[in-house]
Structure 1
Amino acid sequence: MIRGIRPLLRGSTYAGVLFAYCGALASLPLLPFALLPAVAWRSAPEGVRIVLVLLVWAALVGVVGLARTTRRVLIVSARRLLRVPLPDPVAGRRPASPPGTGPAPAAPVPAVPSGADRWRTPLWLLLHVALGWTGALVSGVLVLMGLVMPGGWLGAEARVSLFGWSVRVTDGWSWAVALGCVLLAAAVCVLVTGTLRWSAPRLLGPSSAERLALAAERELLLAERNRLAHELHDSIGHTLTAATIQAAVAGEVLSADPVAARAALRSIEESARAALEDLDYVLGVLREEEAGAAPTRTLADLPELLDRLRHAGAVVEPELAGELAQVQGTLSRAAYRILQEGLTNALRHGTGGPIEVRVTAASDRLELSVVNRTGARTGTGTGAFPTSGHGLPGLAERVRLLHGEIEAGPDGPQHWRLAVRLPVRLSA
């Protein structure tokens, strides 16, 4: 019994009824246009003219439902008044790919509804208007009957007539019939709200095309977040590793060689400033703010990167071959990040021996290689660093997106080698 009347005690039930009534009222401005054919066809029987008006009125309501703005308004209204979790319509938009963060993802599937999907909103709007008018008329009549029956307030005999059958309501039953009318009116309200709440996800919810577009948009957003995570890992991870080693070197030579200590401190300052630029940009994108231009690091910045490593006390032996200037755009930025990650790993896990860096640019490929000594770390301030374990998987994913090849592993008993081969494309 209590469960049966529980919907009558919920405010959302009557908010849904209000929503249905608003749909009925919103269709009134279309009624004069629906009357025009009946006015023009005066010779038709009255019943035919009434049916014609209703059909034209329904057609006009359906045409209004085809507008995208109508669907957006209906979704927002149903979400607030019916308390139905409806997502916003998806237009197949593509998140902007920040410059300098890697290859652009594939374009999402556009949210182009099929023929059947286009008629879901007009169908729901017609149901909305029909339920609104039905609920308003039936519940209004029942409530009016409940008000006028008790005690013969209008000074007339109370009689209920339906389909040619009528019955006189005596004074002893008038209150019971009045209560029944009120309960029936409340039941109509529950039925109207329940029908609208049940049909809203099915007719206003995302279509199959929109679900595909929504999934593609989520995939693009996730891919962009992953690229930003790579940026943070490559930039901040390298900077912290190099700065830690440089600080240790500066602390040990501060008294014996103040010039070298100052050079190490300047290198720490430059590295930290560059990392802060990267961090500010990434945080701006994550907060959906208007971030400035992305700091781009390319192969042209490789000498500066090698200099920072030398200031940290590392011995770097670069070997550059080919026309590096022909490597541009996404490929150049990715190559810089790959070398940066390889050099960072060499600083973290190497033994302080020479780090061999090879970059070979050919007409059809770009080859990158970083080789360092491995084993128990010795030396000043270069103890083992804790790692997250995301470096090599992140490199492998970046290389895979560029359709390249990667090899990482021991190269003999005392060396570790990272080798990457990337195809060179004219559109890079």
Structure 2
Amino acid sequence: MVRFLRPLVRGTTYTRWLHLWVPMLFESVWLFIDMSKPWVPAVLLIPLGLIPAVRRGEGVQARYMLAWDSQDAAISVTPSVTWRDRLRTVLWLEARMVLGWVAGPLTVWLPAATVLLVGAAFGSGPIHTPVMTVTLPQWTCALLAPLPLLALYGSVVGLGELITAIARRLLGPSPIERLAAMEERTEQLLERNRIARELHDSIGHALTVAVVQAGAARAAGDPAFTDRALAAIEDTGRAALEDLERVLGVLREAERPASSRPTLTEADRLLESARSSGAKVDAEVRGPVETVPGPVSREGYRILQESLTNVLRHAGSVPVRVRIEVVDGTLGLEVRNPLTADIPGPGRGSGLRGIRERAALLGGRARTGPDQGDWQVHVELPLR
């Protein structure tokens, strides 16, 4: 019973009924002008529906009055772009008018029928209608009196659901709009993944360096070494704070350019940070790194950063060979270090996955894993 009466306490039940009544206001005005041609308003809706802006207005009305949700993506609020959208708008206006013709009389006749039946039940005489006069026993009228109200309740709920379903069908997004929404959603997901990778690579690198430096300083017991370790931790922490501020700036300002992110021309900072953490880094740079396009250079910097972070985290103070090469329209990055017992297996860890994702987004490829007694990260990124 509660479920049956639940629509009575929902606001959409009444806003939907009001939405059905709106076309009848124009119909009523026209009937005062010429009652012999009630079909004229329906004909006038055809050229009206062909106006692109009408679709937006109808969509806004439908969202607020039928769905009661301004963010209901099933109902579009954009103007008509194609003739298909215009024709769908015309069909929607005609369907709205037809259902309004049904809802209007029901709203008047059904309550009036209840009033007549209640009057007859209390002995006010036969029931007079514009069509005929009906004489029923009083007890029959008393039993029938609630039926028109139940019919009105069913009509209000049923026609409201019907007009909402028609709105989602005829005012719903076109294929072009659905494709645009899908592309926007994809862009948002890519941006979220990029920000997650930025935070993982930058903050993870800084924390790894800090942990390694602090552990080495405590084990060494040398004041001079401790001073150098603290200086390295300070530099790395300051760089991480800059990266964090940069990423947070992207979150705060959607249009903030990515050009302020570090590039491979600043790779020396990463190499010195790894060396100060105890790793013996042997770097080789070939080709004009400064000519590498911005997006490729920025992603290459993050790949190199994550590769060195993995070395410090899993291998510690070991010899590391870094090769950066720009040749034949390709940027090559390779980081190798001796295998240790604690190595990440192929495909494990968000860092290695992030390296492969960065390479794939730029149309490149990445290989990570054991190779001839070393752990290898080998990445090739096209420059075009």
Q: 1:51 to 1:138 in 2, by over 3 A?
A: same
- How many pairs are equivalent? 382
* Unmatched 5+ stretches in structure 1: 40-45, 92-110, 378-383
> What is residue 177 of structure 2 aligned with on the other side?
210
> What is residue 217 of structure 2 aligned with on the other side?
250
Q: 1:130 to 1:13 in 2, by over 3 A?
A: farther
Structure 1 residue 336: deviation in Å? 1.1
Whether 2:129 is the aligned partner of 1:141: answer no
Q: 1:139 to 1:205 in 2, by over 3 A?
A: same
> What is residue 126 of structure 1 aligned with on the other side?
94
Structure 1 residue 160: deviation in Å? 4.1
> What is residue 21 of structure 2 aligned with on the other side?
24
Which piece of structure 1 moves more, 14-23 or 184-193?
Answer: 14-23
Q: 1:409 to 1:75 in 2, by over 3 A?
A: same
8 Å Cα contact 1:21-1:136 kept in structure 2: no
Whether 2:307 is the aligned partner of 1:342: answer yes
Whether 2:5 is the aligned partner of 1:11: answer no
Query: What is the CA deviation profile of residues 326-381 of structure 1, one whole-angstrom value per residue up to 9, with x for unaligned ones?
Result: 1231111111112112222222333633212122223522222222222358xxxx
Whether 2:352 is the aligned partner of 1:410: answer no
Q: Which amino acid aligns with 2:375?
A: W
Which piece of structure 1 moves more, 57-66 or 131-140?
Answer: 57-66
Q: How many angstroms apart in 2 are the aligned matches of 1:396 and 1:385?
A: 14
As a proportion of its length, which structure holds more helix? 2
Residue in structure 1 matching 2:195, options 203, 223, 228: 228
Q: How many angstroms apart in 1 are the aligned matches of 2:137 and 2:52?
A: 49
8 Å Cα contact 2:55-2:80 kept in structure 1: no
Structure 1 residue 113: deviation in Å? 6.1
8 Å Cα contact 2:24-2:100 kept in structure 1: no
Q: How many angstroms apart in 1 are the aligned matches of 2:53 and 2:27?
A: 13
Residue in structure 2 matching 1:158, options 126, 139, 143: 126
Structure 1 residue 268: deviation in Å? 0.9
Structure 1 residue 273: deviation in Å? 2.3
Structure 1 residue 123: deviation in Å? 2.9
Q: Equivalent pairs: percent with the same residue?
A: 33
Q: Which amino acid aligns with 2:324?
A: V
State the TM-score, normalized to the length of structure 1: 0.74
State the TM-score, normalized to the length of structure 2: 0.82
Q: How many angstroms apart in 2 are the aligned matches of 1:141 and 1:31?
A: 16
Structure 1 residue 423: deviation in Å? 2.3
Q: How many angstroms apart in 2 are the aligned matches of 1:404 and 1:385?
A: 22
Where 1:67 maps in the other structure, the secondary structure is helix
> What is residue 237 of structure 2 aligned with on the other side?
272
Q: How many angstroms apart in 1 are the aligned matches of 2:17 and 2:187?
A: 38
> What is residue 76 of structure 2 aligned with on the other side?
89
Structure 1 residue 245: deviation in Å? 1.0
Q: Which amino acid aligns with 1:315?
A: K
> What is residue 52 of structure 1 aligned with on the other side?
40
Q: Which amino acid aligns with 2:158?
A: L
Q: Which amino acid aligns with 2:314?
A: H
Structure 1 residue 143: deviation in Å? 0.9
Q: Which amino acid aligns with 2:208?
A: T
Q: Which amino acid aligns with 1:392?
A: L
> What is residue 69 of structure 1 aligned with on the other side?
57
Whether 2:266 is the aligned partner of 1:301: answer yes
Q: Which structure exhibits the higher relative contact order, with contacts defined as CA atoms closer than 8 Å and separated by 6 or more residues?
A: 1
Query: What is the CA deviation profile of residues 208-247 of structure 1, one whole-angstrom value per residue up to 9, with x for unaligned ones?
Result: 4333333333222222222222212221221121111111
Q: How many angstroms apart in 2 are the aligned matches of 1:86 and 1:365?
A: 43
Where 1:66 maps in the other structure, the secondary structure is helix
> What is residue 380 of structure 2 aligned with on the other side?
421
Q: 1:77 to 1:388 in 2, by over 3 A?
A: farther
Q: Which amino acid aligns with 1:416?
A: W
Structure 1 residue 312: deviation in Å? 0.9
